[in-house]
Amino acid sequence: MYTYTPNSITYSDGKETVRVEAWGRGLRVTAVPFGKIPDEPWALEAALSADVNIFAPESGFPYIENSGLRCTLYGSHVCFSKDNQLLLEEESYPGHIRETARRYRPILGTDDFEATVRFRAFDGEKIHGMGQYRNVKYDLKGCNLELAHRNSQISVPFFISNRGYGFLWNNPAYGSVTFAENITEWKSNTTKKVDYWVCAADTPAEIMEKYTEVTGRATELPESLMGLWQCKLRYRTQDELLSVAREYHRRGIQLDVIVIDFFHWDYQGDWDFDPEYWPDPRAMVDELKSYGTRLMVSVWPTIDERSKNYRGFEDNGYLITSDRGFSVGFKFYGYEYLYDATHPEGRKFAAGVLKQNYGKYGIDMFWLDVAEPEFYIYDRDLYRYHIGNALQVGNIYPRMLSQMAYEGLQESGTKDILNLVRCAWVGSPKYGALVWSGDIDCSFPQMKRQIANGINMGIAGIPYWISDTGGFEGGNIYDPVFKELIVRWYQWAVFTPVLRMHGDRQPGLPPLVGNTDHGGGFCPSGSPNELWSYGEENYEIFVKYLGIREGMKDYIRKTAKECETVGLPMIRAMFLEFPEDATAWELSDQYMFGSDYLVAPVTEYGARERTVYLPAGKWIAMDSGRLIESQGETVTVSAPLDYMPVFKRG
């Protein structure tokens, strides 16, 4: 019933096969109800050499140990412990209930099945990570989460528990997880195997290190991109964009990146400039470079049938197809097909189009929008990718979209690669992904939710994460509430991986032309969104905080290096730095920016003070230089409009 290799234990009883193997500095569990366990690694990179100990008794129950974590097999039932302390255990109901920890429901006529795995729930357990979700608690205990991407929902199925372990659901299938009071239950709607990975360590930071070691760490954050990025919905013409860049230059404000948003093309899928409104891209790029500014362009995976690239994608099988009905997946000023980033040859083809149409001008940064991909109707059972049905593989799509752009730029010789992308999955950081949170509303409650989202994204292994400064939808530039909101959001953005202005500002601007459904002139735009667009008082605050950002570049570089080397995020949950402090596990509206700066954004309109929890130690207030020696206490601090509370470790 038990078989052994130097790296694994396998249990089989004729009805089910369960394998536990050392993988990196953790243990991987895979299981199937019939046949051979598939080898697909999904999020896990090649198994690393490990210090493995296997106990294989002639009678009784075997166990496998790796990097301090032990897994004991009681037949098919698995149980994890460290230092003789139970960490995690699958939950079975033997006897008359006859319910096993793993339940398989075959999908008739296929080798696939719906899989459910149950784990024992523990009182007092705290669960953090899992990516980005709207309207959930910071502590995910008690939450039900959809394992699927949507615009502003990013499913990255890894969490850290305050019990001392990390858990990865290593499966890109759509499904759900419930962290209930009485059970934890993971479900894949259709899959070929159960697959999860567990590690344990004395601190959450060590768990992050082990997790990112086997899934991939972030690429370098280029120093030339650590300053201000300027973006809005949408610069409509070459002259309009250059007038903004020239004004920044005239004011003596260094602009690191300026962004051209959607419909700078004629049809979706052209991935090229509409020459009527962008007549000389080479001259535009050269002028921007003279200011020290890089140009980023928006690329959507949507392919209009009228696009000049449609036949190349369609004839070669590089589009997402449908198992039944029509293969159109998106609707935005037309009906569009979706590019299939899971096709290896399709990735090369798409990267070649980007090189031909943008690279020739010296453009080497891309904004990968609609990256979930966003379906017009989320009937995911319709769609089929090159590597399988969307239900079974769909969550890996955004990672492969980032892979396409990253490898294409590498092939072109670009050294400092960083692409903006609206979604991610496990392993996205190794493909130069700067993830932003999608099309969110402009409100103080949303800002507060975004802070918690950014913290949980970092725990899930996405270290470069940002949100639209001020939010995306509904911000009127003349509204005093929004003008205060964007100041508070901007102050917070200074202490995130990238400082980026973006949003669909109101009142909206009409199209340049009408009576058409394509081309760069037909699509409307938003009001100005530059630093000087919100009045002189706000402008002075923006410039002040940009100066703070510029003065922190050495520190930002050091913090980003930790993302590369040990897998720590830049936006850090308080417990990553203070794991023994119980209060640090509760804090959803303050965080550590790297190891030294405690950041406490102001998330209420009209607030001119806020409470901040200071863990035990010495803290220096950024505004006054006042030293506070804390024993682990909550303090009330002043927060005038031109100041966001920040404390530096003393």
Which are the catalytic amino acids?
369, 372, 439
The tokens describing 650, both together, are: 């003393």
Q: Give Cβ neighbours of residue 2 (< 8 Å, ≥ 6 apart).
A: 9, 10, 11, 56, 62, 73
The tokens describing 185, both together, are: 């239950």
For residues 518 and 512, what is the distance between their CA atoms, to the nearest angstrom? 12
For residues 122 and 184, what is the distance between their CA atoms, to the nearest angstrom? 9
What is the CB neighbour count within 10 angstroms for residue 182? Answer: 9
How far from the centroid of its chain's Cα atoms is residue 572's Cα? 14
For residues 559 and 166, what is the distance between their CA atoms, to the nearest angstrom? 22
The tokens describing 268, both together, are: 């979706």
Beta bridge partners of 191: 113
Listed residue (626, 636, 570, 569) closest to 600, CA to CA:
636
Q: 169: phi > 0 → left, psi -120 to 50 → alpha, else beta; which?
A: beta
For residues 166 and 139, what is the distance between their CA atoms, to the nearest angstrom? 15
Sign of CA dihedral 264, 267, 273, 278: negative
- Length of the chain counted residue by residue: 650
For residues 245 and 249, what is the distance between their CA atoms, to the nearest angstrom? 6
Listed residue (26, 19, 4) closest to 87, CA to CA:
26
For residues 393 and 381, what is the distance between their CA atoms, to the nearest angstrom? 11
- For residues 345 and 312, the answer to whether their CB atoms sit within 8 Å is no
What is the CB neighbour count within 10 angstroms for residue 57? Answer: 9
The tokens describing 366, both together, are: 């891309």
For residues 327 and 321, what is the distance between their CA atoms, to the nearest angstrom? 5
For residues 312 and 199, what is the distance between their CA atoms, to the nearest angstrom? 45
What is the CB neighbour count within 10 angstroms for residue 133? Answer: 20
Instruction: Tell the residue number behind the tokens 């083809």, with chain if given.
Output: 349
Q: What is the dihedral of CA 354, 355, 357, 363, to 10 degrees?
A: 90
CA distances from 245 to 285, 492, 547 (A): 11, 24, 18
